Amino acid sequence: MHYALLIDFGSTFTKVTAVDLISEEIVGTASAFTTVDSDIGTGLNVALDRLRRVTGDIAFEFKSACSSAAGGLRMMVSGLVPELTAEAARLAALGAGARITRLFTHELTRRDLIAIEADPPDIFLMTGGTDGGNRACMEKNAEKLRSLSVQFPIILAGNRQAIDACEDALADFPVTVCPNVMPSFGVLNIEPVQREIRDLFLKHIVNARGLSKTKEILSDILMPTPSAILSAMKLLADGTEKETGIGELMGIDVGGATTDVYTIARGEPVDMNVICKGLDEPYAKRTVEGDIGMRYSVAGIVSEVGQSWISERSGLTADDCATYISELSDDKSKVPLTHDDALARFDHALASGAVEIATRRHAGVLEEAFTTSGLIYVQTGKDLRSVRQIIFTGGSFIHAQSPLDIARHALYTERYPMSLRPKQATVLRDDRYILSAMGVLAEREKDIALRIIKRELVPLGDISLGDDS
């Protein structure tokens, strides 16, 4: 009984990982295809059969899961000013592993309400105003949501003076109240909301996602997959009381539809002549680029970096690139047949572009301000230049032939000197996709999870500024 079973219900695959809690080893992994329509339990059973072939019949002390099945945790968030409470709400939801289907600022409009009704979220996070500040935004939005014909859990996490009125207006909805995401100007307080999101995920979403059928075999379904990955990254960076972490890091997951970037780093300014602006930055931060991905979001990558960039890096002619772009839009399941065929080279360029853009959007930026007493810099976001470790997870990177060349695109470059990305880094790769499983395991066994992560991540080498550009 000294084994743990960790399950990751994905949108296309269900992955299972068996861990020996005494030897602290992964004794087997397996996966099975799941379609949106097929019962999620079927995929799990197939995966478990495959796992058994590797591990033999073993009994599990506990079975825990994370899930991004059926579109993941779909949230809508609302706030007042785009850079302030709406941004705080966005950071809170992303950090909790959600996918944000809509973000609203200021007051909801009739069109917004129609959009909400047409595709209701799993959870609606409503914010607006500092404590004692603007009440109208939350109160009016609550009044408007009241009129909807659909219902969903709502988290109220804005101006505490507005909460009573909102609760009254939303009496028909399952409402929970959390501390303000921005209690006073510029101050970020998102952990309470994130805990609440996870609770709601357990209580409501798991049922709605057909996962409850698997409940009898599971000890618990713990969290959305991205939240498990973020928690594994945080564990790896910070360590535990008994086991040291590896320090500040950046994590990158280039997927088929989106690209996620994680940083566990303070990112505070290093120079004296830098002034920080904007909202506080979360120490453990996750951003998701919905328009950057290897299959469903090829167009997004190409439109950002340009077709010539792709053809230059893939060595393909502009015509060949155009052909692949259109072929991939028709057939998302196309994969390279060999390591160096044309599609593999095209994928290499795409992944490089995805890393380039997603890290640039995640990292903080400097702006120059010329003052008569000299040059001053204004920083928004995190300064990641001293982060020294980059972790890659996700398929596109695992199968890549020259991963370090792709990874270089996460670094600081003279071409974008104001983008505060790491100047040099050791690249580690999650070869066996264990990060989400370890995030789940860490809920019960932090030290074991950490030691396994440290052992499993494969160091690919060091990259530094100026290696290539």
Partner 1 sequence: MEQGNGKKLVIGVIGADVHAVGIRILEYAFREAGFDVTNLGVMVSQEEFIGAALETAADAIVISSLYGHGELDCRGMRDKMDEAGLDGLLLYVGGNIVVGKQDFVDVEKRFHEMGFDRVFPPGTPPEETIYYLKKDLGVD
Least CB distance to partner 1 at residue 395 (A): 40
371 binds ligand B12 (CB under 6 A): yes
Element (H, E) at 135: none
Choose the contact partner of 149 out of ligand B12, partner 1, none; CB within 5 to 8 A by kind: none
Instruction: Select the span of 80-88, 228-236, 334-342, 415-423 touching partner 1 (CB under 8 A).
Output: 80-88
Among 85, 141, 258, 352, interactor with partner 1 by CB under 8 A: 85
Cα–Cα distance for residue pair 104/112, rounded to 1 Å: 8
23 binds ligand B12 (CB under 6 A): no
373 binds ligand B12 (CB under 6 A): yes
80 binds partner 1 (CB under 8 A): yes
275 binds partner 1 (CB under 8 A): yes
Least CB distance to partner 1 at residue 106 (A): 8
Give the residue with the Cβ less far from ligand B12, 338 or 373. 373
109 binds partner 1 (CB under 8 A): no
Among 27, 81, 177, 217, interactor with partner 1 by CB under 8 A: 81
Least CB distance to partner 1 at residue 384 (A): 22
Give every CB contact of residue 266 below 8 A, 6+ residues apart in sequence.
Answer: 248, 281, 283, 382
Give every CB contact of residue 51 below 8 A, 6+ residues apart in sequence.
Answer: 16, 18, 28, 29, 30
Render the burial of 318-346: b for 16+ CB within 10 Å, e for the rest. Answer: eebbeebbeebeeeeeeebeeeeebbbbb
Whether residue 333 contacts residue 303, with contact meaning beta carbons closer than 8 Å, is answered with no
Give the residue with the Cβ less far from partner 1, 59 or 375. 375
83 binds partner 1 (CB under 8 A): yes
- What Å distances lie between residue 202 and 40, 174, 176, 264, CA to CA? 17, 14, 14, 25
Among 132, 306, 459, 461, interactor with partner 1 by CB under 8 A: 132
Report the candidate in 456, 359, 461 with the shortest Cα–Cα distance to residue 404.
Answer: 461
DSSP per residue over 399-433, as a string? T-SSHHHHHGGGS--TTSTTB---SEEEEEE-TT-
Cα–Cα distance for residue pair 193/170, rounded to 1 Å: 18
Q: E-strand spans in 24-122?
A: 25-33, 60-67, 73-79, 98-105
To which residue do tokens 């072939």 refer?
53
370 binds ligand B12 (CB under 6 A): no
Among 241, 372, 414, 417, interactor with ligand B12 by CB under 6 A: 372
Give the residue with the Cβ less far from partner 1, 72 or 79. 79
Task: Tell which positions 334-393 bind partner 1, by CB under 8 A.
Answer: 369-373, 376, 378
Question: Which residues sit at the interface with ligand B12, rule CB under 6 A?
Answer: 371-373
Question: Which residues sit at the interface with partner 1, rule CB under 8 A?
Answer: 80-81, 83-85, 128-130, 132-135, 182, 184-186, 275, 277, 369-373, 376, 378
